[in-house]
Amino acid sequence: MTPQFDHEKLDVYKASLEFVRFVNELEKSIPPAHRNARDQLIRASQSIPLNIAEGNGKRFAAERRRFLEIARGSAMECAAILDVLVTVSACDRSQIAPGKDFLLRIVAMLSKMTEPRESVAREDGESYGEDSSIEYDDEQEHEHV
C-alpha cells in the first residue's frame, strides 16, 4: 500500500481534488476572450487543496485554522468566478452546476473545521467580568477609574 500523508485522508481534500479535476475539464470550453476569469478559476481552485494540505501540516491550531480559512475563501472565490462566467455567457448554468455542488460540500466541510471550539476549561457559574464578591480592606486602593 502506498503511504499517505495525513491530508490525503481528509474528505475535504479529496473533494477539493475532484473540484480541480472539474475545473480542468471546464476550462477547455471557456472562450479565449474570458481567459482572465479562466486563469483565476484555475489558480483559485488549486489553492483549495494546497492550503488544506499546508494547514493540516501545521502544529498549532491557530495556524491550521488560518490556512483552512484561506482554502474556504478560495472556494468562495471559485463560486463567484463560476457565477461571473455564466453572467458573461462564457458557460451555461448546467455546465457549472457540478462545480457548485463540489464547492457547497467543500465550504461546508471547511466551515465545520474552522468553527471556534470551546478550548478553555471553565466552571458553571459566574461569567468573566462579573462582580465576584471579593471584599477588599481598602476599597479606594482597588477602585477602577
**Looking at the domain that runs over 6-116, which CATH code has it been given?**
1.20.1440.60
Helix (H, G, I), strand (E, B) or coil at 75: helix
Which set of grid coordinates corresponds to residue 62? Answer: 491557530
pTM score, whole prediction: 0.78
* Non-local CB neighbours of 85 within 8 Å, separated by 6+ positions: 30, 34, 37, 38, 41, 91, 96
pLDDT in tens, 2-35: 879 999 999 999 999 999 999 999 999 999 999 9
Span 31-68, pLDDT tens digits: 999 999 999 999 999 999 999 999 999 999 999 999 99
Cα distance between residue 21 and residue 5, in whole Å: 20
CA angle 130, 135, 139 (to 5 degrees): 100
User: What single DSSP character describes residue 132?
Assistant: -
Under 8 Å between Cβ of 28 and 47: no
